[in-house]
Amino acid sequence: MPSVPRPLRRLGFLTIGLFDPADPGRGHESTLEIIELGERLGFDSAWVRQRHLQYGISSPVAVLAAASQRTRRIELGTAVIPLGWENPLRLAEDLATVDVLSGGRLNPGVSVGTPTHYDRVRDALYPDTGGAEDFGYARVRRLLDLVRGEPAGDVAGVEGFEVFSDVVQPHAPGLARRLWYGGGGLRSARWAGEHGMNFLTSNVVKAEDPQGPYDFARIQRSLVREFRAHHPDGAAARVSQGLVVIPTDSATPAQRAKYAEYAARRLPRTGAPQGPARRLPRTGAPQGPARLLFAPDLVGPSAELAERLRADAAFREVDEVAFALPFTFDHEDYVQILTDMATKLGPALGWRPAG
């Protein structure tokens, strides 16, 4: 472990983009305004989550296409797109298009696994092939190959007035190097490293040892080390840590009370792993003894948060973060939190705003 934490080199934030179903346009506009604010404050990256059949961003690529036309510098990421809902060929086309539109700023994060509530959405998602779909790593391997320029078929040539290509168009040079894998277990960290991806680690990890101890930061550190041990770039391989971090320096008393209540309500889930072991799709075979372990939310003045982060075993291994904004707060809360992150917390961690 490094004797001292690395200075924070890159600061990003993550939002789910919640909206009122009676007025979804307002919620999406709020997300775009928050990304614009992030650029003005000097953040290095803005990330959006993806939620299907919920009141959050269902099409992050479309949202980031809009954001790419309202910003000029900030990098734009997805954390993460679950590939079980996607056709890798079509997704590769969409990602390449947005990357070209953004001037090479897209950072797509993806994951694999059976879609949430699959038994209840299978007929709508895969009515003819639901029992045959593979939701494992082969799906992300297909996406990687297509983005890297491997042939999608044997159609190159001219037919009448139309010209066809064997590879995904547009081709976005550099996009493959900005692909991230979001993983919470050792197997995912190892796979991402072996395949030369970047690695996203969030406030959820797998507690793979059924006997414990359940120390979130140490488990997360083991993921970072496993990833880098198998990556061609070794210790230089990119890892972004995502925790819920809420600075309160300029918050009003009402906001501080709201933030404290939010964190207290979520705290009970952090003491022990949650949920049973997951099973593999199709076969139903156990995926292992892993259950989910959540990190506590960090709330308080920036000086205190910086001290807690510098003592975090996983934070000491990374030099870039994408701190998650709480799901249910109001627009003005996000403005205050992002402003304090950029002007107080980031500098306390050694970060300097871009631009």
Output the six-digit token pair for 299: 């709330």
Domain tally for the chain?
A: 1
- DSSP letter string over 12-34? EEEE----BTTBHHHHHHHHHHH
H-type alpha helices, 111-215 = 118-125, 137-147, 186-194
Task: Assess if residue 124 is contained within a domain.
Answer: yes
Each residue of 109-130: pLDDT tens digit? 999 999 999 999 999 999 999 9
Query: Residue 258: is its pLDDT beyond 70?
Result: yes
Spatial distance between the Cα atoms of 39 and 353, rounded to a whole number of angstroms: 9
Q: Where are the beta strands (DSSP E) in the chain?
A: 10-15, 45-48, 75-82, 106-111, 157-159, 162-164, 180-182, 198-201, 204-207, 239-241, 245-247, 291-294, 298-300, 320-324
Task: Assess if residue 217 is contained within a domain.
Answer: yes
CATH number for the domain spanning 299: value is: 3.20.20.30
Query: What angle in degrees, to the nearest 10, is found between the helix axes of 24-41 and 60-68?
Result: 50
Query: Residue 282: is its pLDDT beyond 50?
Result: no
Task: Assess if residue 299 is contained within a domain.
Answer: yes
Task: Assess if residue 306 is contained within a domain.
Answer: yes
Each residue of 19-49: pLDDT tens digit? 999 999 999 999 999 999 999 999 999 999 9
Amino acid identity for residue 185 in this structure: G
The confidence score (pLDDT) of residue 271 equals 79
Mean pLDDT on 196-224: 92
The confidence score (pLDDT) of residue 287 equals 43
Which has more confidence, 4 or 339? 339
Mean pLDDT on 311-326: 97
Phi, psi of 164 (to 5 degrees): -115, 150
Beta-carbon-side half-sphere exposure of residue 216 (alpha carbons within 13 Å): 24
Q: Say if residue 266 is exposed, middle or buried (CB neighbours under 10 Å; 0-12, 13-18, 19+).
A: middle
User: What percent of the chain shows pLDDT beyond 70?
Assistant: 94
pLDDT-derived band at 92 (thresholds 50, 70, 90) equals very high
Task: Assess if residue 50 is contained within a domain.
Answer: yes
Give the Å distances, CA to CA, from 94 to 25, 83, 114.
22, 14, 22
The confidence score (pLDDT) of residue 284 equals 40
Each residue of 335-345: pLDDT tens digit? 999 999 999 99
Range of the domain at 285: 10-154+163-348
Query: Residue 204: is its pLDDT beyond 90?
Result: yes
Cis peptide before 48 (omega within 30 of 0): no
Task: Assess if residue 355 is contained within a domain.
Answer: no
Query: Residue 220: is its pLDDT beyond 80?
Result: yes
pLDDT-derived band at 280 (thresholds 50, 70, 90) equals very low
User: What percent of the chain shows pLDDT beyond 90?
Assistant: 89
Query: Residue 3: is its pLDDT beyond 50?
Result: no
Output the six-digit token pair for 304: 């205190």
Task: Assess if residue 144 is contained within a domain.
Answer: yes
Spatial distance between the Cα atoms of 14 and 49, rounded to a whole number of angstroms: 7
pLDDT-derived band at 4 (thresholds 50, 70, 90) equals low
The confidence score (pLDDT) of residue 274 equals 82
Spatial distance between the Cα atoms of 318 and 325, rounded to a whole number of angstroms: 20
Mean pLDDT on 60-85: 98
The confidence score (pLDDT) of residue 277 equals 52
Task: Assess if residue 179 is contained within a domain.
Answer: yes
